[in-house]
A = this chain, B = another copy of it.
Amino acid sequence: MREVAILGIGQTKIDEHWDRSLKDLAGEAVLVALKDAGLPGVEALFVGNMMSGPANNQQHLGASIADWVGLRYADAMHIEAACSSGSAAFRSALMAVASGEIDTAIAMGVEKMTDSPGEEITGYLATAADADWEVDMGLSFVALNALIMRRYMFEFGWKKDDFAPFSINAHANGAHNPFARFQEPISLADYQRAGSICEPINLMDASGIGDGAAAAVLVPLELAQQRGLPVIKVVGSGAATDTIAVHNRREPLWLKAAEISSKTAYAQAGVSPADIDIFEAHDAFSIMAALSLEGSGFAEKGQAPRLALDGEIRPTGRIPIATRGGLKARGHAVGATGMYQIVEVVQQLRGEATGTQVENARIGMAQNIGGSGSNIITHIFKRQ
């Protein structure tokens, strides 16, 4: 297997982009990433997206975006793994370059939900859950996460306010990120008076969805080393699924797929959780950030809120998460989220995370979750 590095990154602000199309957002991310990489084009394009079929009347995003950005005749395909579509596209690009089949690739994620023809985004999002046994019973994603969070509070004795630090940290960091959807810090009082969405989840526990695109250019390591810039190497990639329905899991409070995918990535990278300097976790809901930290070995089962309460998830803490705002404040552009996480890890490892730079960050990890933990993809990156 050939070693692979990231040569360029690009992203758009996450927002309700009423005046911009999916192609427009995708194009911006791709062109910024190409410029950052100093390349005129690439051989292959891997597009992560969850719901352009129903939301934009456009499938076939590989060909569509390749055409739009001028990558004429490129090899291109669209990869979908619900909210983990972005990192699934990255993993596909990684294997393509690692195999030697492709020399230069762009992995990207894009989602455009605002102004969709059907206006049923909650319904489209629910297609990531089990259609027969969850959605048909009336479960939306926030409802599924509310059930998990309530059980977690019951099992481990945490109170609602114990989850506040996840949201406060995310918003504090997002305030420094010009690409974040929400750029204002929040206080404990803000968290406490936030309206309930589906008890115990309130507005400050739930990430805000939004439109956006993020991209990275992948090349063989030798090519990146010739550039003379800080080289960001991909050192670990793991992916695992779990039952799509939460009720089928033996332990609904344990993300087995996070455990498996992170262990695979740690083994490939030759590191342990103690070596990770920053961790872009998938905080679609506060409870998911907690479960992700536990499944990946940063906290004991049921103990992640302790880490958060002790300030260890802040940029100055033991394991900084949501360093550019996370899904909560940077925003959750669904099929693009995994690529935002990777772009942000690269920013940290390059020392470009203005305002929330983690000192001496050398090894970073990104973990992207699809469905309620039914697909989890973990990548580890290292600055050479």
Can you name 6 A-B residue pairings with CB atoms under 8 Å? A1-B99, A58-B131, A60-B82, A63-B370, A77-B80, A95-B99
Q: Mark A76-103, 1 if CB is under 8 A from B, else 0.
A: 1111111000001001100110111110
- Please measure, in the bound complex, the distance between the C-alpha atom of A59 and the C-alpha atom of B135, giving whole angstroms: 12
Interface status of A67 (Cβ within 8 A of chain B): yes
Nearest residue (CB) in B for A373 is B63
Q: Which of A31-39, A142-150, A235-243, A274-282 contacts B (4 or more CB under 8 A)?
A: A235-243
Q: Which residues from B are CB-within-8-Å of A73?
A: 240-242, 256-257, 260
Interface residue tally of chain A, by bracket?
A: 35 or more
Q: Do most interface residues of chain A lie in helix, strand or loop, or is the interface mixed?
A: mixed
The reply to whether A63 and B242 form a contact with Cβ atoms under 8 Å apart is yes
* Set of chain B residues within 8 Å of A95, measured between Cβ atoms: 92, 95-96, 99, 101-102
Q: Contacts A53-B54, A95-B99, A375-B63 given; indicate if A75 touches B240 (C-beta within 8 A).
A: yes
Instruction: Using CB atoms and an 8 Å cutoff, list the residues of chain A in contact with chain B.
Output: 1-2, 21, 44, 50-54, 56-64, 66-67, 71-82, 88, 91-92, 95-96, 98-102, 124, 126-132, 135, 237, 239-245, 248, 256-257, 260, 370-371, 374-375
Which one of B57, B76, B82 contacts A375 once the chains associate, using CB atoms below 8 Å? B76
What's the Cα separation between A21 and B133 when bound, in Å?
14
B62 and A81 within 8 A (CB): yes
With both chains docked as a complex, state the minimum distance between the C-beta of A226 and any C-beta of chain B, in angstroms. Answer: 22
Question: Once bound together, how far apart are the Cα atoms of A102 and B79, in whole Å?
Answer: 18
Q: Do the beta carbons of A374 and B63 come within 8 Å of each other? A: yes
Residues in B with CB closer than 8 Å to A248 are 67
Given A56-B131, A257-B73, do A80 and B80 touch, yes or no (CB 8 Å)?
A: yes
Please determine whether B66 and A241 come into contact, CB atoms closer than 8 angstroms. Answer: yes
Instruction: Take A78-B79, A241-B66 as given contacts and tell me if A60 and B375 are in contact as well, using a CB distance cutoff of 8 Å.
Output: yes
Partner of A128, one of B60, B257, B260: B60
Instruction: Give A54 to B79 CA distance when docked, in angstroms.
Output: 16
Distance between Cα atoms of A53 and B301 in the complex (Å): 35
Bound Cα distance A78, B257 (Å): 17
- Chain B residue nearest to A89 in the complex (CB): B77
Which residues of B lie under 8 Å from residue A62 when comparing CB positions?
A: 80-81, 88, 241, 375
A21 / chain B contacts, CB cutoff of 8 Å: 132
Determine how close the nearest CB of chain B comes to the CB of A268; give it in whole angstroms: 9
A77 in contact with B63 (CB, 8 Å): no
Quick check: A63 and B244 within 8 Å, CB to CB?
yes
Q: Contact at A60–B244, with CB atoms within 8 Å?
A: yes
Contact of A75 among B50, B56, B129, B239 (CB under 8 A): B239
- In the bound assembly, the distance between CA atoms of A240 and B61 in angstroms comes to 14
Write out the residue numbers on chain B whose beta carbons fall within 8 Å of the beta carbon of A240.
Answer: 73-75
Do residues B67 and A374 form an inter-chain contact, with CB atoms below 8 A?
Answer: yes
Question: Which residues on the B side are within 8 Å of A98 (C-beta)?
Answer: 99-101
CB of A79 to closest CB in B, whole Å: 6
Pick the residue among B57, B60, B79, B371 that contacts A63 (CB under 8 A): B371
